[in-house]
Amino acid sequence: MTTHRSLSSSCHSPVHKQHNRRSCVFLCVLIVLVFVAMLTSLAIGDVKITFVAHLKFVLGYLSFNNFSDSEFFAQSLNSQDFIILSQIRWPRVLMALSTGVVLGVSGAAVQAIFRNPLADPNLIGISSGALLGASLMVFASYNLGFAVLSSINNTALISGAAFLGALIASMCVLMMSHWLTKPGVNQVLYMLLLGFALSAFTGAFAGLIKYFVDLQQLRFLSFWQLGNLQPSSSVYLWFSLISAVIVLFLLMIHSSALNLLALGEQQAMYLGVKVESLQYRVLLICSVGVGVSVACVGLIGFVSLIAPHVVRMVTGADNRWVIPLSGLTGAIILITSDVLARSLIDGETLPVGIITALVGAPWFIGVLMRKLKHS
């Protein structure tokens, strides 16, 4: 009871109110930056499209007019602008937005579970499992004589296989850590070790499969592994948008419990938190969310690592703020990275995963060096 009273009284302390004010200001700044990043991304391209054309497109969408109604768009947009906006620019920026949100909130939640700012959802084998699933599907399609790279259906199969691979790999880590550890033992450490081992195994198996596929399919897997934000179908975009909303909502439900977990597992248990159940639920939510993202856009690293760390530097460690703000920060990072990927080389679009790695790897080294210096 004393702990409950101290926690509730600290929520009304001047320091807590100051943190809330700072978080509200940071939220407003991030929302503005998201819109600026989106507008910048929408403006980039060989064809110049006016702001009025973008506005007409959005208003036409919000008024629920049928996009195939040529009479409506004859009065609003010319056919070229409509095709570019509806099939290229808006789907790309919305895919970057939703994927960044999922990676950001998942990174914040995983770091809260492991109580380590250097933790990442990929530590439990999500990326390596997705790569193995996609590689297996490409190899199976090749042996069965399918034209993998020219068929939308086969592309969908590869994305589905990547999602299943990510989900199966993460579930294997969670179940094995549950089976191999005794009650009261720190399962988080075993999850990390099992995640490293499983990632090494699945990565080696995926490399073996790559060795036997032809050059065209090897090129496809290489580009998929580097990340591509241009959805090949509106289905991928809707899956990504819906998963972003669901993952954010579910993780916000667990944000208060994650705050208690930051006090330590024993202390959280005394306060009524079912620690083991919380860890599995949160990691499962993150696995599904990141699995959908990987299936839709491929492998994109470091966003889930950078975004929560940036937020904690400004707002502190309150997960009720860190999780949603990490989603916005992840969206800004990914949209900005996509802008750089499309503008660094004239006439070329670099894989966005290259940009995030070039930015994220030095950041990771800097955070690690700072952490070692303080320790």
Question: 13-19: long-range contacts (C-beta < 8 A, 24 or more apart)?
Answer: 19/315, 19/316, 19/318, 19/321
Whole-number Å distance between alpha carbons of 96 and 241: 10
Whole-number Å distance between alpha carbons of 310 and 325: 9
Q: Are 307 and 121 in contact (CB under 8 A)?
A: no
Give helix 234-253 / helix 90-114 axis angle, nearest 10°.
30
pLDDT recorded at residue 348: 85
Q: Is residue 61 part of a domain?
A: no
Mean pLDDT of the chain, nearest integer: 83
Q: What is the longest distance spanned by two Cα atoms in the chain?
A: 69
Q: Is residue 58 part of a domain?
A: no
Q: pLDDT of 117-135, one tens digit each?
A: 888 888 888 888 888 988 8
Q: Is residue 287 part of a domain?
A: yes
Q: In total, how many domains does the chain have?
A: 1
- DSSP label at 183? T
- DSSP label at 317? S
249 burial level (CB within 10 Å; 0-12, 13-18, 19+):
exposed
Q: What are phi and psi of 7, to 5 degrees?
A: -70, -45
Q: Could you tell me the residue range of the domain that residue 165 belongs to? A: 2-33+94-374
Whole-number Å distance between alpha carbons of 226 and 224: 5
Q: Is residue 76 part of a domain?
A: no
Token pair listed for 241? 């948008």
Grouping H, G, I as helix, E, B as strand and the rest as coil, residue 231 is: coil
Whole-model pTM?
0.86
Pick the residue with more confidence: 33 or 291? 33
Q: pLDDT of 303-336, one tens digit each?
A: 999 999 999 989 988 999 999 999 999 999 999 9
Q: Is residue 285 part of a domain?
A: yes
Token pair listed for 31? 């929302």
Grouping H, G, I as helix, E, B as strand and the rest as coil, residue 147 is: coil
Q: Is residue 78 part of a domain?
A: no
Least confidently predicted of 4-13, 181-190, 318-327:
4-13
Place of tokens 């996009």: 67
Q: Supply the Cα-derived Rg of the chain in whole angstroms.
A: 22
- For Cα atoms 294, 297, 301, give the angle at the middle one, nearest 5 degrees: 60
Whether 161 has a pLDDT exceeding 80, the answer reads: yes
Whether 360 has a pLDDT exceeding 90, the answer reads: no
Residue 224 confidence class, pLDDT cut points 50, 70, 90: confident
Q: Is residue 309 part of a domain?
A: yes
Place of tokens 């492998």: 299
The DSSP-derived string for 28-89 is HHHHHHHHHHHHHHHH-SSS---HHHHHHHHHHHHTT--TT-HHHHHHH--HHHHHHIIIII
Q: Is residue 197 part of a domain?
A: yes
Whole-number Å distance between alpha carbons of 248 and 131: 25
Least confidently predicted of 66-80, 86-100, 231-245, 343-357:
66-80
Place of tokens 């403006």: 43
Tell me the CATH number at 204: 1.10.3470.10
Q: What are phi and psi of 328, to 5 degrees?
A: -65, -40
